[in-house]
Structure 1
Amino acid sequence: MTEPNHSPDRLRADQLSALRAELMHAQSVRGPVLPFGVPALDDRLVDHGLSGAGLHEMAPRSAELTDDAATSLFIAGIAARFAAKPGANVLWALSTFDLYAPALEHVGLGPDKLLYAQGRRDSEVLALAEDGLRDGSLACVVAEVKVADQVATRRLQLAASDGGTPILLYRRHRARDRCPLAQPSSAMTRWLIGSAPSAPLPHAGVGRARWSVELVRQRGGNPFQLEIEACDDQGRLALPAAAPHRAPAQDGAAISAAA
């Protein structure tokens, strides 16, 4: 009778196979989808929005402060809309507390929605984020790190699926000449965000901020790039309107894009 093969290599292969199967299941689980409300974005996303039980990665297009700020606000606006219901909270985990609260509130993420968790290093931040995801009581988790390998992102995706909670992983620049998204990842979507020139105004002043939004990768779909107008006070984006047809925004509401 043939003895079963219990060699270390065989056991490791079996463990990897089981982990891949678990990850594939986790990536197939889609929580409630959060649409952007901009057809030019939603129609190009496989889920027509962001899965509420998945990992989504965002990184600045460059190490410049303007791109860093644009990415922070892009993430904050998404988190604000995930937490739009009364009593919903967002956990923001980070190692360096450099967030500017008034700017977050300007895109709809006020202090009544935010819980902060600070770790000394990236590994602690990732552990805090994973615990928050598995708890299942949060509307969204945001984590800021410079280093997150494929094992770490796999764990976050599994935790997001188990807890039915989305995570927005902010990949900070480690080196000016290397894209934070260069490493493989188990994320469902991966984004590069940069600042873009505002539209000229017919009078003195600065127009609504614009961002360059590039979806570098999405599971089951194609990449794309768009220029959009920055979040309003409820975290909503908009497509730039043609200047002759631009309508004034009222109470910070987004200008809806024509389908």
Structure 2
Amino acid sequence: MSASIAELRESLRAIEGDGLKRRPVLPFGVGALDGRLASTGLRLDSLHEIAATTPDASDDAAATLFMAGIAARAWGPVLWVVRRRDLFAPGLYQAGLAPERLLYAEAADDAELLALMEEGLRHRGLGAVVGEVQRAAMANTRRLQLAAEGGRTIALLQKRHAREDRNPLAVPSAAVTRWRIGSAPSVPLPGHLAEDALGRACWHVSLVRQRGGEPFETILEACDETGRLALPARLANRKIASGGADQRQAA
């Protein structure tokens, strides 16, 4: 057993369930997403994969903050396993993930990272387990999915770009959903004096694959300080004008 796994087990022993009711599904609260997800939200007893649209730093940050927002809306402590020390804690906080909820573990390689994630999922005392890898085979993701099943700990695995021409989601996976996240032009602030000012950041959100449902893509405003996404005003207003049921809403 590696020293990292031993240290993680010691940390997990100090974590107990908080008695909160844990929902089997975590909805986004945005009709553009929940209405097209087979489970009307993200299943908590499952593995979900996320990749940046490109290796560009802005897309990579968008994918990381997308995961942070999901983890922020989960029910309890969050284990985040890293390979490199490039997480920006203030950025995670701005996406709703408070520092006191985070438990970090550093892995020497992808194999150890996946083992640490599996250990965290089997503990059952965490709200979310997050990890970032460059490579994970089908067998690896199947182990994570099996570890998550029967619990209420959502598993979020970011597939990072190993090189420019490699699609991180090209390798088959047992994940229930697979997402591609990229930055998009922000919405200008309203008002005459702020016509050229940048508003809330936007992301291009693409669900590449989901079990029991169809893929889709949409534009959403980035996570706010509570981890909630929102439909951009111009899209929400278009739905309202056309008589649609969805109004501007947050996750």
Q: TM-score under structure 1 normalisation?
A: 0.80
User: Cα distance 1:59–1:243, how it changes in 2: closer, same or farther (>3 A)?
Assistant: closer
CA drift of 1:244 comes to: 11
Aligned residue runs from structure 1 range 199-238, under 5 A:
199-201=187-189, 202=191, 203=194, 204-238=196-230
Q: Does the alignment pair 1:171 with 2:159?
A: yes
Q: Root-mean-square deviation (CA), in Å?
A: 1.9
Among 22, 34, 51, the alignment partner of 2:43 is: 51
| Structure 1: runs of 5 or more not aligned | 1-30, 246-254
Among 168, 172, 187, the alignment partner of 1:180 is: 168
The CA deviation string for residues 80-99 of structure 1, in whole angstroms up to 9 with x for no partner, is 0013xxxx200000110110
Among 131, 134, 146, the alignment partner of 1:143 is: 131
Contact 1:241–1:257 (CA<8 Å) still a contact in 2? no
Which residue in the other structure is 2:140 paired with? Answer: 152
Contact 1:229–1:237 (CA<8 Å) still a contact in 2? yes
Q: Distance in 2 between matches of 1:164 and 1:151?
A: 22
Among 104, 112, 122, the alignment partner of 1:116 is: 104
The one-letter amino acid paired with 2:121 is L
User: Cα distance 1:198–1:125, how it changes in 2: closer, same or farther (>3 A)?
Assistant: same
Among 116, 121, 127, the alignment partner of 1:133 is: 121
CA drift of 1:206 comes to: 1.7
Of structures 1 and 2, the larger Rg is shown by 1
Which residue in the other structure is 2:59 paired with? Answer: 67
| Structure 2: runs of 5 or more not aligned | 1-22, 238-246
Q: Distance in 2 between matches of 1:40 and 1:164?
A: 24
Which residue in the other structure is 2:13 paired with? Answer: none
What stretches of structure 1 move > 2 A for 4+ residues in a row? 242-245, 255-258
Q: 3-state DSSP class of the match of 2:99?
A: coil
Q: Distance in 2 between matches of 1:90 and 1:176?
A: 31
Q: TM-score under structure 2 normalisation?
A: 0.82
CA drift of 1:256 comes to: 3.6
Q: Distance in 1 between matches of 2:149 and 2:235?
A: 43
CA drift of 1:243 comes to: 8.8
Contact 2:78–2:129 (CA<8 Å) still a contact in 1? yes
Q: Distance in 1 between matches of 2:91 and 2:37?
A: 28
Q: Does the alignment pair 1:192 with 2:180?
A: yes
Number of residue pairs the alignment of both structures matches: 216
Contact 2:78–2:130 (CA<8 Å) still a contact in 1? yes
CA drift of 1:162 comes to: 4.2
Among 219, 224, 239, the alignment partner of 2:231 is: 239
Q: Distance in 1 between matches of 2:197 and 2:87?
A: 26
Contact 1:135–1:163 (CA<8 Å) still a contact in 2? no
The CA deviation string for residues 11-33 of structure 1, in whole angstroms up to 9 with x for no partner, is xxxxxxxxxxxxxxxxxxxx610
Identity of aligned residues (%): 55
